Amino acid sequence: MKVAFRTFGCQMNMNDTEAMMGILSAAGHKIAGSEEEADAIIVNTCAVRGKSEDKLYGKLGQLKALKKKNGRLLVGVCGCVAEKNATELLTHKEVDFVFGTRSITKVDELLGRAESGERFIEMGDFIDELDSDTPRIRTSSHHAWITIIFGCDKFCSYCIVPYTRGREKSREMEDILSEARELAGRGYREITYLGQNVDSYGKDLDDGSSLANLIRKTSRIEGIERIWFLTSYPRDFSDELIDVIASSEKISRSIHLPVQSGSDRILKAMNRGYSREYYLDLIERVKTRIPDATLSTDIIIGFPGETEEEYVETVSLVKEIRFERINLAMYSPREGTISARKMADDVPQEVKTRRLNDLLALQKHINREENEKYLDRIIDVIGEGKIKGNGKIYGRTMNNKIVIYEAQPELIGKSVKIKVDRVSAGPLYGVITP
């Protein structure tokens, strides 16, 4: 069969899609270039906010139309919305099968069942089967995602992820390292270790495995030039990890530590397990031991009960830390979570919108000022992709800064030195210097 994939949500979903594509193509299927030519379409979904979920329902409308044209088209839904709304999804006529986040290794078998006319939900836990032997079709030929820990045990009060991804489960360290070595042997130069909580990595293995150890060992693999990891959890971000990052230039200088709010009362209601003071102290330790690190974060605006003063505390934290990047989101109640059950979504929409826009404007201002520090500097960049239509490519620095420069597409995946000659609130611009 020709199978097309549509993927929404985080990098873990992207990485899951890469594995499903690998498994299907190893089983003799083809990956379709477009939905029109496909015999089956698999939608890998995200449920983190109402808007993410809406994307699937919008898509289902389009698929209904496609099915009218091609009566034999099969549609499968997986990912976080599949976990959350399985039964409801199967009431949509255009959906043939639904499967959970821990059943993805079974995708070939599931497709076979759907082909024989069965409509079903598969929620089994086969996550142990996802390892270094799993075939994968990777999106990039120089940068690879590797999921090191599945699930999340934190239960932040607003978050659906622990319900859709299940309990934390770490992969064996040797298995991860052999995947990394194999990738390095095939010319991959960058690796991103993924998990909802990479700092919890190894805790369930009881064999001394930890993120710090894993990264230390990865940094010794020949050929690997850059090691990234996502996402960190402030309370579990260890001093040992800070030391490991400081000790090797191969490890990302961009550290993502989601703070969510600058107010102690809100942090408590979110069940984040740390205070503003703890977070500020952690950032201080990071900045002292890794002076060239830049920081990024996630913030939720308009959590239930957020007062103007509490919002202003978030603003002051943003001013104090001066993040390189902020993923800002308006609070969106998720069915089944603690905050959706026990707290009213009582911050009016126009207040949420104003707070969000004000914080976005502040962040833009900070970005512009911080970026000006790069002017005339020479920075190390690895090329990542073409920019349509103007002969330029974009690349990335170890601080996760996007840089745009003139270069042949052959330089994608290659390191270059760029002299920065122009900045914006977003990317930097420059020219290659020898």
Of 152, 173, 214, 379, the one binding ligand SF4 by CB under 6 A: 152
Of 21, 38, 63, 161, the one binding ligand SAH by CB under 6 A: 161
Which option in ligand SF4, ligand SAH, ligand F3S, none does residue 9 bind, with CB closer than 5 to 8 A by kind?
ligand F3S
Decide if residue 227 touches ligand F3S (CB under 6 A): no
Decide if residue 154 touches ligand SF4 (CB under 6 A): yes
Tokens standing for 301? 């605006």
Decide if residue 196 touches ligand SAH (CB under 6 A): yes
Tokens standing for 216? 């230390």
Binding mask 44-73 for ligand F3S (x = CB under 6 A): --xxx---x---------------------
Tokens standing for 323? 């993040």
| Spatial distance between the Cα atoms of 190 and 313, rounded to a whole number of angstroms | 37
Please, what sign has the CA dihedral across residues 58, 62, 64, 67?
Answer: negative
Of 3, 4, 5, 12, the one binding ligand F3S by CB under 6 A: 12
Of 76, 79, 234, 430, the one binding ligand F3S by CB under 6 A: 79
* Inter-residue contact 297 to 271 (CB < 8 Å): no
Phi/psi of residue 44, each to 5°? -100, 115
| Spatial distance between the Cα atoms of 303 and 28, rounded to a whole number of angstroms | 48
Of 156, 215, 241, 398, the one binding ligand SF4 by CB under 6 A: 156
Which option in ligand SF4, ligand F3S, ligand SAH, none does residue 303 bind, with CB closer than 5 to 8 A by kind?
none
Length of the chain: 434
| Spatial distance between the Cα atoms of 99 and 119, rounded to a whole number of angstroms | 11
| Spatial distance between the Cα atoms of 2 and 68, rounded to a whole number of angstroms | 18
Query: Would you give the distance in Å from CA 34 to the centre of its chain?
Result: 24
Tokens standing for 183? 């990738």
**Residue nearer to ligand SF4 on the CB measure, 171 or 272:** 272
* Inter-residue contact 395 to 405 (CB < 8 Å): yes
Which option in ligand F3S, ligand SF4, ligand SAH, none does residue 155 bind, with CB closer than 5 to 8 A by kind?
ligand SF4
Decide if residue 13 touches ligand F3S (CB under 6 A): yes
- Choices 93-101, 157-165, 219-227, 348-356 (CB under 6 A): range interacting with ligand SAH: 157-165
Of 127-166, binders to ligand F3S (CB under 6 A) are 160-161, 164-165
**Residue nearer to ligand SF4 on the CB measure, 156 or 266:** 156
Decide if residue 9 touches ligand F3S (CB under 6 A): yes
**Residue nearer to ligand SAH on the CB measure, 187 or 348:** 348
**Residue nearer to ligand SAH on the CB measure, 30 or 55:** 55
| Spatial distance between the Cα atoms of 341 and 404, rounded to a whole number of angstroms | 46
| Spatial distance between the Cα atoms of 104 and 358, rounded to a whole number of angstroms | 41
Enumerate the H helices of 39-172 as residue ranges: 50-69, 80-90, 107-115, 161-165
Q: What is the DSSP string of 315-371?
A: HHHHHHH--SEEEEEE----TTSHHHHHS---S-HHHHHHHHHHHHHHHHHHHHHHH
**Least distance in angstroms from the C-beta of 15 to ligand SF4:** 15
Phi/psi of residue 213, each to 5°? -65, -45
- Collapsing DSSP to helix, strand or coil, 194 comes out as strand
Q: Which residues form the interface with ligand SF4 (CB under 6 A)?
A: 152, 154-156, 159, 161-162, 196-197, 233
Q: Which residues form the interface with ligand SAH (CB under 6 A)?
A: 48-49, 158-159, 161, 196-197, 231, 233, 258, 260, 298, 300, 329, 331-332, 334
Q: Which residues form the interface with ligand F3S (CB under 6 A)?
A: 9-10, 12-13, 46-48, 52, 79-80, 160-161, 164-165
